[in-house]
Structure 1
């Protein structure tokens, strides 16, 4: 097996020379836990991880992770692990009813965005994210909530019954072609009654709709217990205080006597290959998955330096293989749309079986050619290995990434740490901290050669425990093999004769000949927000703001008036729809995209450009060391986009395939009908169809792009970060002041912005889909003032509506998994406001629920909105606003608004927000509905009402 073979490579002794203390008498020793983490375990078995971190300040994440999931259900409990997760938000000992949600939202923790949970096959995790820590009482309450989740969920009978319908609607929304095929194929992939084949977390709707209350109570009592739970608290908190509170609060949680063994379902080896094929009339693509299963790496090895070495080898093998696939996909006439190699849990879910997985998405009717092509690439890699230059690039990038993580450790977010500790608790491994990991990685990378990687991949692709799975569209025009034939075709693919991989090697610089340097011709300092303005010799303006919010980060953004509305667009509709995807196909300067990625090995810099409706834009980012590379990329993107006929042909073939597949999806009628209803005369909003592709012209797209970036004289560039002006100035003069100037008088033709039609409409239609369902879209359109106060009212109203319908439509009626209520107002056309409401339900519930939604909207205008919803929304907006000020991206947007849009809302934002009242939101809604246009679209399918997992 791979974990033992690695020791035979002969590097381990050398690797460990500097870490003898980690080993004793030849036994594998775990890496130490990062000393910055307060780690402990109570006598009852409860594990905890506590870390102080101030990214962002005054916020913290609170997790409770549990090593329990749907795999621990009895057949009579199918779906109840997931159901229990829902019930955790429907009443606990100290937070009855919806008080848990209400309390957290009252302090700015939004349900769904910041307060959530998920249930998997072997884990259930509850998360409170970005909770304020400005008051000790909030920290105490979050810990009390974790305590309640651990053993004090109420499981009120009425709340259980109310939630049945919600979960049924969640199931309904998930029943697409992929899910149906997965439900059918899992029992064949995991045969002989193996639980992985019949424990999808959503479960059986027969059980969900009919289980006796005691079933869920039994599951809760049996499996939610401290020895299977971990608390993870990361943020701007007092670590000593939190640890003390955990010990006080959680010591009373008893581990059950004679506790049931927490078993993990084993997946046996399969001597004979397992082959499974499923089709579905609504499937839009053909996928083939090939897996080579093996034993999992022992937990003690995962936790050691050897575990890090195995992770390194795995990343090297999969990364280099996938880069070869990316190179192939640049060529035309390739039989697959995508392919990739991965290494992890079998099927991404079995914790007791690892697998090397090869996933292929084939073009329609070309599954055999795709299988042959991708298997040939795997054979090429295992037979001849990777090259030294491929490995050098991988190693350079990995070490650079690790070094950057070490430099930027002060910027690491609470969520990143919390997820790392959660994964460690659930899956094992190590959390030794970036300092030790960086040191170990350098030792590992220095000892392991490309030969080690090649041997490792060959070991993983051993051909045993073979699993081949195929899912495809069910069409009369398509023929598929039997399972025996597919296996034979795979075996035949293995017999192909392959040649070693060859690559073009270039030693060219990113820019061989530097452009003629321009000048900074004037400087203005001490502008608002500490901004400095440099005017360049070509007319461009550069606004600079130093910031130490993020160490080692520089961000650039540029904008100019113009956009494609400067054109007579009637002859370029199809070209404009594909412009964003096409202009980047060929790379920049002397390099195609593959060559460019090689040239940029070890550099932390990127740049991109775009042509919008009214503006041209450019963006870039880098660390301090690679800031010149960022400027070079900006220059080349603006002046030297290159064409690549092969890459373009491959792109158009893939677009053709994607549009053809989309047309076969019953839900495509929805994506077509919404823009047709709201924007009937706007050809740019009309979805692209296969027949439109003949009008696309590569040369014309590149011509439009070049024309739009031919004049930099009206560009405004904005740069923020940890730069030194003396270092930056020569780079700005070399790469921005040298950009071409024509001194055109481009303008942004905002008057051409198309709004929603003045003609209301109602459209109901049915589609032929397999799942019995309905989807409803309600759109209200009105004209409102466009200013900061109105925009804030718009945001508040949208979030209040979401909470209102969450309560009445989801919880009270049990009619849907959720209602999406979005309220927006456009700058162009100025002041066009819209309320967009969308939900899925059963066909027979459409009229009842939609009438209720309309009635409640009118009642809110007449009688006022819920003050509790209002208060929670305003608090959440205020928290988001405060948090955003710790980000460079926020201040970049502020100076762009100030100096490009002549809009300065930062000084008045909080005052404007705080003067808004529930009464002013009511008046806003009343004014909105006074003279509005209404659009309604209802799409239904009278398909099957399947209630049980197959």
Structure 2
């Protein structure tokens, strides 16, 4: 269960910049006649209330409970059921701080119809996985429960509404269960907090939120309250605020709408509001006159950053005027951040990261926020640069080419949403309806929104856009935050200095010059080579082709998405073929060349050329492979093929991008050792790679040896021979439609028939028992990883047994370490197995806990493992795994991304692709005896590495 806790300044910035739902869009589309929506009067811009999407049924019960119901068939035979409560931490009394979130936990620990753990047990047996599927979150203003269910089981699906009703009004709050859960809630707080980010948040949030109710009611609550509250105190919160007139049920999925409405009425009509209901106060954050500056430091914070927040009253999109303004804001955000992105492509970037945007903030506020992470000793330059870009936009405005490009980008996004309107995931609709219930955000539907964009975005002019920076910028209701390492405290500016930086940032500015090109990516298509052989696999619907240059293509046309084609091409080799001396140069080759543009076009020019196209292609070089990943709309598939061709044949060598990447990597290393998790990760990496330097973090010394010429030469060598590449293409196409593009572009790739493969560098844990303990960190927070490893025979039967063992371990360790010991929030169990570069497996068990509990919890983990070795898994746990695996497989069989990953894996592991069809049937191979055998084989304590992070000794 996630606490949507108060965040650090940097995290708040991410909320701000991602807050606008209409933010990503591209070129004015030209849909085919069959796809072109009719233009209606509602689509023509006028300042009226936005309509309500006719495809959602909205109702209200006599007790005040609101419901949203929508039939949607993506994914098929599935539904998303949500309970949304307008009750969060902001409503807590002093004695209840943390109990909004604790209430959420107790909903899974006993209700009227599901005592103790019966609810989770029932759902797991129905194929719903706790944590991954079944979950909830608590924020300042709301608590939301999510319940994804299959609809092909009427009993399970209809029981879901009973479960929601139990959460809404019938949580029992058994005192014994409360006491057991106290430790779990405190461990969740330890897992997500007890770090520099949390400590800095406690310093800065009262300033950002002006000491409002929000600043004193963080969802995580107070440790002393959580440890000592009585059952009556939490029952009082529940009785006051979990009431139908503050609740909504959202149901979206593959079901009969009328039947769902009947189920909601039957299950929720009996809920009653309190006789003397407390008023649901709407809290806000009072504006601050002038500017408030806060400088905060922490011993373990590895960066120096600044954030400038200009707060504005919250805007809710209800009318066409509001909607039009939200489009302008999205264009403004896009254009300003494009300029910042160009600055990051310099040889000596003025910052490590920067983002400026207008969007929602906590406490019924919007904000224009700029956040910048500085290079070491470069805060002044970073702050002045970011502020200068906003000032440049305010003084000189944007260019017409920038605006047109932003409009193209905007229209591509809305066009993609429109084309996928009958393939949109149910969870997307749930999010919209949540915002409608919680904030009153309009839900006009994609048909209206698409028409609105197409008919109105051209009306947005430069004068309007150029006025926006002036509207957003102010020295009133402004907060400036500076955060840094405690050791650098003397280097940080005081209030006077940072205000002077901001005041001087606009001096001596000149207008922005938009460096664009009208040249095409390619003047003409290459001659290519024809398909020389073609085979079909009717069982899974694939076609395999061999082109004249030896390159293989596996095609799987699907109807899962209307506007998506996924591309993945790879071959063996990778950085394993680089010498130790050249490894560092080689390790940067893929990412640097992939960020350097292509042919004669630098990255900035390339990005601008691709505006208006729904296409993304990037090369990569991993340890044992090199390849190309990409995606495109069908209409932009040829562009994707051109990019692939050029990344093979005309990669761009950009000294500025290389130098900038090396410099930024060095900057990130400067204070890395302040962060306990980074130090811990270095030790963990050394154990996992048997101390091979390639598996660990890079160093400044190694970076000083990195060489662009060597990196570029390595890249070109890795992509010099296409004959050993296999491309997997999955999505919305027919074989005949895309055959000419593959023959022209993939068929023209160079071929030398070298038949290269990887080298086995034996980067895996050494055999035997290993214990490494790192002492780093000021808080009482320990991290534990227990890693079993060894040689492995990679095949479907063994893989299935390891997958089952992973889930059985997860179930048992949740029961033991969380529910019984109350010592952790959630264990992380990961069974990993590979065929290449040699057959190896690892089973990793990880958890976070109090330092004093490390030995006890490791012993408890080994005890549970011993039980499985002795008696095998419980039949009920096997039943849960089988149900979960069958359900997830059914969903994945209807997803492009799952098929793309599966087919690429089949190629690399030389497997029979048809085996996926028998996967669910093969689940009957999981038995009590097979889990016992697997545990004995793979959980051998003689090959166990324990890597532990403990707080510093005092």
Normalised to the residue count of structure 1, the TM-score between the two structures is 0.92
In structure 2, what is the equivalent of residue 316 of structure 1?
A: 331
* d(CA) in 1 for partners of 2:44, 2:550: 62
How many angstroms does 1:713 deviate by?
2.0
In structure 1, what is the equivalent of residue 348 of structure 2?
A: 333
In structure 2, what is the equivalent of residue 4 of structure 1?
A: none
Per-residue Cα deviation, 1:843-894 (whole angstroms, up to 9, x for no partner): 2211211111112211221122232222111111111111111123334445
Q: Does 1:693 align with 2:706?
A: no
In structure 2, what is the equivalent of residue 342 of structure 1?
A: 357
Q: Does 1:617 align with 2:627?
A: yes
Q: How does 1:72-91 map to 2 (within 5 A)?
A: 72-91=91-110
In structure 2, what is the equivalent of residue 534 of structure 1?
A: 545
Seen in structure 2, the aligned counterparts of structure 1 residues 241 and 488 have a Cα distance that, compared at 3 Å, is: same
Q: How does 1:826-837 map to 2 (within 5 A)?
A: 826-828=834-836, 830-837=838-845
Q: Does 1:841 align with 2:860?
A: no
* d(CA) in 2 for partners of 1:476, 1:316: 38
In structure 1, what is the equivalent of residue 485 of structure 2?
A: 473
* d(CA) in 2 for partners of 1:322, 1:136: 49
How many angstroms does 1:609 deviate by?
2.1
Secondary structure at 1:498 match in 2: coil
Secondary structure at 1:356 match in 2: strand
How many angstroms does 1:621 deviate by?
2.1
How many angstroms does 1:110 deviate by?
0.4
8 A Cα contact 1:843 1:942, kept in partner: no
* d(CA) in 1 for partners of 2:793, 2:473: 63
Unaligned runs of 5+ in 1: 1-16, 945-950
In structure 1, what is the equivalent of residue 314 of structure 2?
A: 296
In structure 2, what is the equivalent of residue 14 of structure 1?
A: none
Seen in structure 2, the aligned counterparts of structure 1 residues 727 and 134 have a Cα distance that, compared at 3 Å, is: closer
* d(CA) in 1 for partners of 2:173, 2:669: 47
Q: Does 1:644 align with 2:657?
A: no
How many angstroms does 1:85 deviate by?
1.1
8 A Cα contact 2:399 2:514, kept in partner: no
Per-residue Cα deviation, 1:152-192 (whole angstroms, up to 9, x for no partner): 1111111111111112222222121111011122223334x
* d(CA) in 2 for partners of 1:898, 1:215: 56
Per-residue Cα deviation, 1:405-464 (whole angstroms, up to 9, x for no partner): 111112110111111211222222211110011111223302211211222332122332
In structure 1, what is the equivalent of residue 788 of structure 2?
A: 780
Q: Which moved more, 1:378-387 or 1:727-736?
A: 727-736
Match of 2:215 among 194, 197, 204: 197
Seen in structure 2, the aligned counterparts of structure 1 residues 210 and 22 have a Cα distance that, compared at 3 Å, is: farther
Q: How does 1:262-277 map to 2 (within 5 A)?
A: 262-277=280-295
CA RMSD of aligned residues (A): 2.2
In structure 2, what is the equivalent of residue 361 of structure 1?
A: 373
* d(CA) in 2 for partners of 1:863, 1:827: 30
How many angstroms does 1:683 deviate by?
2.5
* d(CA) in 2 for partners of 1:200, 1:408: 38
In structure 1, what is the equivalent of residue 522 of structure 2?
A: 511
Match of 2:296 among 266, 274, 278: 278
8 A Cα contact 1:580 1:610, kept in partner: yes
8 A Cα contact 2:42 2:448, kept in partner: no
Per-residue Cα deviation, 1:655-698 (whole angstroms, up to 9, x for no partner): 11111232222333211111223433422112212222111111
8 A Cα contact 2:620 2:628, kept in partner: yes
Q: Does 1:149 align with 2:171?
A: no
Q: Does 1:370 align with 2:389?
A: no
In structure 2, what is the equivalent of residue 38 of structure 1?
A: 57
In structure 2, what is the equivalent of residue 50 of structure 1?
A: 69
Q: How does 1:217-228 map to 2 (within 5 A)?
A: 217-228=235-246
Seen in structure 2, the aligned counterparts of structure 1 residues 399 and 585 have a Cα distance that, compared at 3 Å, is: closer
Match of 1:760 among 769, 793, 810: 769
Secondary structure at 1:81 match in 2: helix
Q: Which moved more, 1:838-847 or 1:891-900?
A: 891-900
Q: How does 1:72-151 map to 2 (within 5 A)?
A: 72-129=91-148, 131-151=149-169
In structure 2, what is the equivalent of residue 744 of structure 1?
A: 754
Q: How does 1:788-803 map to 2 (within 5 A)?
A: 788-803=796-811
* d(CA) in 2 for partners of 1:187, 1:723: 54
Match of 1:549 among 546, 560, 563: 560
Unaligned runs of 5+ in 2: 1-38
* d(CA) in 1 for partners of 2:767, 2:504: 62
In structure 2, what is the equivalent of residue 728 of structure 1?
A: 738
* d(CA) in 1 for partners of 2:396, 2:948: 57
Match of 1:165 among 183, 201, 205: 183
Secondary structure at 1:471 match in 2: strand
* d(CA) in 1 for partners of 2:335, 2:850: 47
8 A Cα contact 1:553 1:623, kept in partner: yes
8 A Cα contact 2:80 2:426, kept in partner: yes
Q: How does 1:852-863 map to 2 (within 5 A)?
A: 852-863=860-871
In structure 2, what is the equivalent of residue 658 of structure 1?
A: 668
* d(CA) in 2 for partners of 1:808, 1:457: 56
In structure 1, what is the equivalent of residue 935 of structure 2?
A: 925
Q: Does 1:409 align with 2:421?
A: yes
Match of 2:432 among 406, 412, 420: 420
Secondary structure at 1:404 match in 2: helix
How many angstroms does 1:499 deviate by?
1.1
Match of 2:685 among 672, 675, 697: 675
How many angstroms does 1:598 deviate by?
0.9
How many angstroms does 1:140 deviate by?
1.5
Seen in structure 2, the aligned counterparts of structure 1 residues 312 and 686 have a Cα distance that, compared at 3 Å, is: same
* d(CA) in 1 for partners of 2:707, 2:247: 59
* d(CA) in 1 for partners of 2:897, 2:285: 47
In structure 1, what is the equivalent of residue 16 of structure 2?
A: none
8 A Cα contact 1:754 1:829, kept in partner: no
Per-residue Cα deviation, 1:723-776 (whole angstroms, up to 9, x for no partner): 244432321222111111222232344x54433212432223422x22122222
Secondary structure at 2:141 match in 1: coil
Seen in structure 2, the aligned counterparts of structure 1 residues 896 and 645 have a Cα distance that, compared at 3 Å, is: closer
8 A Cα contact 1:344 1:354, kept in partner: yes
In structure 2, what is the equivalent of residue 8 of structure 1?
A: none
Q: Does 1:383 align with 2:430?
A: no
Per-residue Cα deviation, 1:485-514 (whole angstroms, up to 9, x for no partner): 4334333335x2311111212101011354
Match of 1:603 among 593, 600, 613: 613
Secondary structure at 1:607 match in 2: strand
8 A Cα contact 2:200 2:298, kept in partner: yes
8 A Cα contact 1:78 1:199, kept in partner: yes
In structure 1, what is the equivalent of residue 229 of structure 2?
A: 211
How many angstroms does 1:901 deviate by?
4.2
8 A Cα contact 2:412 2:613, kept in partner: yes
Per-residue Cα deviation, 1:698-717 (whole angstroms, up to 9, x for no partner): 11111111011111122222
In structure 2, what is the equivalent of residue 434 of structure 1?
A: 446
Seen in structure 2, the aligned counterparts of structure 1 residues 850 and 896 have a Cα distance that, compared at 3 Å, is: closer
* d(CA) in 2 for partners of 1:546, 1:776: 44
Per-residue Cα deviation, 1:499-535 (whole angstroms, up to 9, x for no partner): 1111212101011354333323344456663433333
* d(CA) in 1 for partners of 2:158, 2:518: 60
How many angstroms does 1:896 deviate by?
4.5
Seen in structure 2, the aligned counterparts of structure 1 residues 866 and 579 have a Cα distance that, compared at 3 Å, is: farther
In structure 1, what is the equivalent of residue 474 of structure 2?
A: 462
8 A Cα contact 2:112 2:172, kept in partner: yes
* d(CA) in 1 for partners of 2:254, 2:504: 59
How many angstroms does 1:268 deviate by?
1.8
Counting matched residue pairs gives 913
* d(CA) in 2 for partners of 1:452, 1:197: 36
